[in-house]
Amino acid sequence: MKEYLASAVRSISECIRFDSSLQKHTQTAPFGHGCLACLEYFLSLAEGMGFTTHNYDGYVGEVVFGEGPEEFAILCHLDVVPAGSGWTKDPFGGAVEDGKIWGRGAIDDKGPAVCCLYALKALKDEGFVPSKRIKLIVGCNEESGWACIDHYKEVATMPEVGFSPDADFPVIYAEKGILHVRLHFRMERAPFLFLEGGSSANMVCDYCEATPRSLSVTRAKGLGLEISAKKIYSHGKSAHGSTPEKGENAILPILRFFDEKSDVVHHAIACLFDDVYGLRQFKDETGNLTLSPNIVKYRKNDLQFTCDIRYPATMSVEDVHEALKRFGVPYETVHHQKPLMCDKHSPLITTLLGVYEECTGRHATPIAIGGGTYARALKHGVAFGPEMPGDPAVIHQADEYITIERVELLLDIYKKAIERLTK
């Protein structure tokens, strides 16, 4: 696969240059012009390789290889979370430096999507004839709602079996349920005139600011807050919403500043950060429940928190709702995805494990994660790469990157996996 490496690196870099975060909806671009342009670029790249492609109304695209009676899916996404703050590289520059390709989406999920496309090209160039109709499906709304998958299921046929290169190796057999809720903490005469932070429900808040009614410089500095023009600011560290422990939530220091001045703020901290009602104690083999308040807004006596909850795969969403009722505040569901649980000994999983072990020389067993992937859009789907055990956490963080060495490995892994699952 070395002969495809340079081209794959260049294509990943070019793909990163599109800001495909969720933007203003238009009639022709449901998720904004950046997403549409990135989708058109990817499909044009595939057409140049000789593949049949389909653009389903700017929601989702498809690259087709083979004519078999059965279908096999490779599910990727081209949209990204907002860049956020703290970058030392241009988040949409696609710079290739220090053995890495830098930019938002490099590893989540543009890099893996491009690698899968070049894996298909390599198989096609070798004259491989799949026994199944392979569909490389690239969505544009994975990070903020999955409207792309909903649209695809309306206008096309989703295969029952496949994988999504949008998580971790060796192979993911289970994914926690995902629940995004917006909680409302009602308050009269709040101790602040303005309070806001966070940009995405599934991304740990890395910046928050507020305008206090009265400003205690000593207290603000004691909490590590910045002060400017009667405002206070908090900087944190972004991380994926499924792993909030890897980040530093910028909302908490701001709330701590007002803790002594408001029982409502005190209650919000107790519920959302101190876990006084024990939601994070729920657990199974997929891990503990996580709750990450990632967006905060104050509007007309209403302190709103949008929270990312990942609940154990054997737990029901009704159990989570019962637990949330203990907070004693109104809330609504913004987004929900059921958990994924697959048989660890299925042919799909054992084949992918075999490819991973062959290409890496590492013995492995299937794992469970808190993240959610397109795999759960399939009747029998799993997540497969691109992150390795021990990798630095860069997804949804500043200075996201994928190494060129990893690109080379992904080309090899995905080529072998696709060939063995569709021969």
- Which is catalytic among the residues 142, 175, 387, 400? 142
Whether 79 is a known active-site residue: answer yes
Using alpha carbons only, give the angle 401, 403, 406 rounded to the nearest 5 degrees: 125
Q: How far apart (Å, rounded) are the C-alpha atoms in residues 218 and 24? A: 41
- Which is catalytic among the residues 79, 109, 175, 206? 79
| SS3 per residue for 289-346 | CEEEEEEEEEECCEEEEEEEEEECCCCCHHHHHHHHHHHCCCEEEEEEECCEECCCCC
Assign 286 to helix, strand or coil.
coil
Whether 142 is a known active-site residue: answer yes
Report CA-CA distances (Å) from 218 to 174, 221, 223, 295.
Answer: 48, 5, 9, 26
Q: How far apart (Å, rounded) are the C-alpha atoms in residues 257 and 254? A: 5
Q: Which two tokens stand for residue 304?
A: 């709103």
Which residue from 306, 192, 294 is spatially nearest to 252, judged by alpha carbons?
Answer: 294
Residue given tokens 């917006």 in the structure block = 182
Report CA-CA distances (Å) from 314 to 177, 244, 285.
Answer: 9, 21, 9
Buried b (16+ CB within 10 A) or exposed e, 202-234: bbbbbbbbbebeeeeeebbeebebeeeeebbbb
Q: Which two tokens stand for residue 35?
A: 């997403």
Using alpha carbons only, give the angle 378, 340, 401 rounded to the nearest 5 degrees: 85
Report CA-CA distances (Å) from 62 to 10, 160, 253.
Answer: 21, 16, 45
Write the single-letter amino acid at 142.
Answer: E
The residues assigned a catalytic role are 79, 142
